[in-house]
Amino acid sequence: MNTDTQNVPTVKCPTCRTAVRWNADSPYRPFCSRRCKLIDLGEWANERYSVAAAEDDSLSDLLER
């Protein structure tokens, strides 16, 4: 019995929540498939996802000029 395959961590696909093994056999990790990866990319491109950040006042001053 190969213990290496038993110790491979699994994560849930961010898109469909399917279990994904975190190893070289899962080329789209953390996604389960190319489809789920592209769905996620589309969500970012459509600005449905964002990263919260503090506003930088120095950049705001430059934009107002």
For 30, residues 6+ apart whose C-beta sits below 8 A from its C-beta are: 11, 13, 14, 20, 22
62: annotated binding-site residue? no
33: annotated binding-site residue? no
36: annotated binding-site residue? yes
Q: Contact, 26 vs 20, CB < 8 A?
A: yes
40: annotated binding-site residue? no
Looking at the DSSP bridge assignments, the partners of residue 12 are 19
Which residues are part of a known binding site for Zn(2+)?
Answer: 13, 16, 32, 36
Which residues are part of a known binding site?
Answer: 13, 16, 32, 36
